[in-house]
Chains A and B, each alone.
Chain A
Amino acid sequence: MIRARRYQDARAQARSNPELAWWVFMRVSGVVLIFLVLGHIYMTFLLTSELQASYSVVVNQLAQPVWKIYDWLMLTLAMLHGVNGARYSIDDYVQKVSRRVWTKTLVYGLAALIYVLGTMGLFIISKAMLAG
């Protein structure tokens, strides 16, 4: 993990190019996620009760391309941002090497599985699912 206050410091501290790229990614994706996630919470939790999100409401919503794209962008950025943040925490707090490897394998594996599930869901959902 890079502990820097400025981009210039981060560049000097980075052990590798990928590590610097992640440092930049966390900031850029974070700013984008503020808009996407707060917009998502506002629309699905404040403007309407989350109890209204029944099967047919969710299918109708996610059958529209604009929400497929919005949600998939949010899902992708949030997963990468969240799992990379978890990696920073694991590196900091899980000291024993073997345990660290297992923790990372578990977290990455679970997140990848759920990301694939969510992505499939977003692109498979269609209004045809309401007919049956």
Chain B
Amino acid sequence: MYRAREGQWAFALHRISGLLILLYLLIHVVSISLVLFGANAFTVLHDIYGFWLFRVGLIAVTGGVLYHGFNGLRVAIMDFTGWGTAVQRQLWYGVLAISLIGLLITAWVVVPRILAGH
């Protein structure tokens, strides 16, 4: 069976997280821009986003942004330094650790709010 190395997982996750963040960005900008169409238009959608599943989704978006951002930094380090490629595998595990810790901290802050409904 073919087994991908870390670099390929890093690349695939970078693509997927990037495309999902772009999708979120487009929806997010439209939602906030509803302010232009008055308080009612904005509030109708704002209330829908209060549903717990959307709020959990925002935690996932935060995790995706952390991964994409820090893995992007890893790519830039590989591109612009002489030592980056030699430690890219270690850097990737660092990226995963930062993303996971950031995701857990976000969940730690946001999940109680979701459970309490505020």
Contact surface of A with B, Cβ cutoff 8 Å: 4-7, 10, 27, 30-31, 33-34, 37-38, 41, 45-46, 49-51, 53-56, 58-59, 62, 75, 78-79, 82-83, 85-86, 89, 110-111, 114-115, 117-118, 120-121, 124-125, 129
Query: Given the complex, which residues of A lie within 8 Å of B72, measured CB to CB?
Result: 27, 30-31, 34
**Complex CA–CA separation, A53 to B47 (angstroms):** 11
A50, B58: Cβ atoms closer than 8 Å: yes
- Contact (A58, B33) CB under 8 Å given A30-B73, A82-B22: no
Is B21 within 8 A of A82, CB to CB? yes
Check B32–A118 contact: CB distance below 8 A.
yes
Query: Do residues A41 and B36 form an inter-chain contact, with CB atoms below 8 A?
Result: no
- Kindly supply a per-residue 1/0 record for chain B positions 1-26, scoring 1 wherever the CB is within 8 Å of any chain A CB and 0 otherwise: 00000000000000100110110011
B39-64 residues with Cβ-Cβ distance < 8 A to A are 39, 42-43, 46, 49-50, 55, 58, 62
B: which residues have CB within 8 A of A?
Answer: 15, 18-19, 21-22, 25-26, 29-30, 32-33, 35-36, 39, 42-43, 46, 49-50, 55, 58, 62, 65-66, 69-70, 72-73, 75-76, 78-80, 85, 106, 109-110, 113, 118
- Within 8 Å CB of A129, what residues of B? 35
CA distance A124 to B33 in the complex (A): 10
Chain A: CB-nearest residue to B26: A114
Which of A33, A37, A78, A114 interacts with B30 by CB under 8 Å? A114
Contact of A58 with B35 at beta-carbon distance under 8 Å, contacts A31-B73, A111-B26 already known:
yes
Residues A34 and B79 in contact, CB atoms below 8 Å apart: no
Are B79 and A27 in contact, CB atoms less than 8 angstroms apart? yes
Which A residues are CB-close (under 8 A) to B26? 110-111, 114
Closest to A6 in B: B79
Question: How close is A127's CB to chain B, nearest CB, in angstroms?
Answer: 12
Name the prevailing secondary structure of the A interface residues. Answer: helix
Q: CB-CB < 8 A to A49: which residues of B? A: 110, 113, 118
B25-A79 in contact (CB<8A): yes
Among candidates B33, B35, B80, B106, residue contacting A55 with C-beta atoms closer than 8 Å = B35
Residue of A nearest to B105 (CB): A46
List the 3 shortest-distance A-B pairs measured between CB atoms, nearest first. A82-B22, A118-B29, A121-B33
Tell me whether A78 and B69 are in contact (CB under 8 A). Answer: no
Say whether, besides A27-B75, A110-B26, A118-B33, A53 and B110 are in contact (CB < 8 Å). no
